[in-house]
Amino acid sequence: MDQYVVVGNPIAHSKSPAIHATFAKQTGQDMNYSTLLGEDAQFENQVRCFFSEGGKGMNVTVPFKERAYALCDVLSPRAKLAGAVNTLMLGKNGKVYGDNTDGAGMVRDIVHVLGQSLEGKRILIVGAGGAVRGVLDPVLAQNPLSVTVANRTVSKAETLAEAFGCQASSFEALEGTFDVIINGSSASLSGQLPPLKDELVGAHTWCYDMMYGKEPTVFLKWAQTLGAKGADGLGMLVGQAAEAFFVWRHVRPEQAPVIEQLRREM
């Protein structure tokens, strides 16, 4: 049976084993997927040991995505753009291949599962950290009218805008309504709302939070009070996993039933 693992710290809470077990059952794949607690001083050794012992693939989560990027022999184009890796695979030549499926997973959730087109839309992305860097290229590939990155530290937004060919702004300087607002900041983790003006939300604005929880995030509650519809990032979690599964097994699982199952269990 082929062995796969997700490494992070903390990791006990991870939903990835349940997600991949369901994908394997769906698609008839003979594989086992477990968790590995990453050790700060031993992470690189843990990766090498896993592959030397016959492991086939590894997912990488907080706080090791940048370190995973650094240890790869070969990087996918989207991993290079993201500057971080969440999916590892051992090639037939013994080289470690790194990919980043976060952005593709989010876009697939938004466009294919939730049915929200990004083409021709005026899009605002909140935050300028690694999560946003990982999704910018897949979002831009959907041919939106414009993409603006807003962040408290404007220079960080400007760095991303320059790298990806989009726009940057402070929160204060944002004007007009947006068709789609994506929250990629860490504010939801601490129950905070980014400093967004109510007038950014129009009659047809649709909002997406990369974070998720049993209850709607503060960002989504704010959007709802202004009449906007939206979704949280549970589908992104499943989407990035489905994309990693496709990289490893060359078969694409069904995401919607897994999202519904996880939602029921929360």
**Is 202 one of the annotated binding-site residues?**
no
| Cβ neighbour number for residue 44 with a 10 Å cutoff | 13
154 annotated ligand binder = yes
Residue type, position 32, single letter: N
In the chain, helix, strand, coil percent, each to 5? 40, 20, 35
Q: Please tell me the distance from the alpha carbon of residue 165 to that of residue 158, in angstroms, as a whole number.
A: 10
Residue 211 annotated in ligand binding? no
- Is 244 flagged in the annotation as binding? no
25 known member of a binding site: no
Was 127 annotated as part of a binding site? yes
> What's the CA gap between 251 and 186, in Å, rounded?
32
Query: Minimal CA–CA distance to 122: which of 55, 39, 200?
Result: 200
152 is in an annotated binding site: yes
Active-site residue, selected from the candidate residues 65, 92, 95, 214:
65
Residue 208: closest CA among 180, 189, 244: 180
Please tell me the number of Cα atoms within 13 Å of 238 on its side-chain side. 28
Identify whether 229 is a catalytic site residue. Answer: no
Residue 131 is assigned to a ligand binding site: yes
| Distance of alpha carbon 264 from alpha carbon 258, whole angstroms | 10
**Residue 240 marked ligand-binding:** yes
| Cα–Cα dist 73/110, whole Å | 32
Cβ atoms of 220 and 205 within 8 Å: the answer is no
Residue 151 labelled as part of a binding site: yes
Q: Is 115 left (phi over 0), alpha (psi -120 to 50) or beta?
A: left
* 15 labeled binding residue: yes
- Spacing of C-alpha 189 from chain mean position: 15
Is 56 one of the annotated binding-site residues? Answer: no
Tell me: is residue 227 an annotated ligand-binding position. no
Does 67 appear as a known binding residue? Answer: no
Residue ranges of the binding site for NADP(+): 127-131, 151-156, 210, 233
Residue ranges of the binding site: 14-16, 61, 86, 102, 127-131, 151-156, 210, 212, 233, 240
Which residues are identified as catalytic?
65
Residue ranges of the binding site for shikimate: 14-16, 61, 86, 102, 212, 240
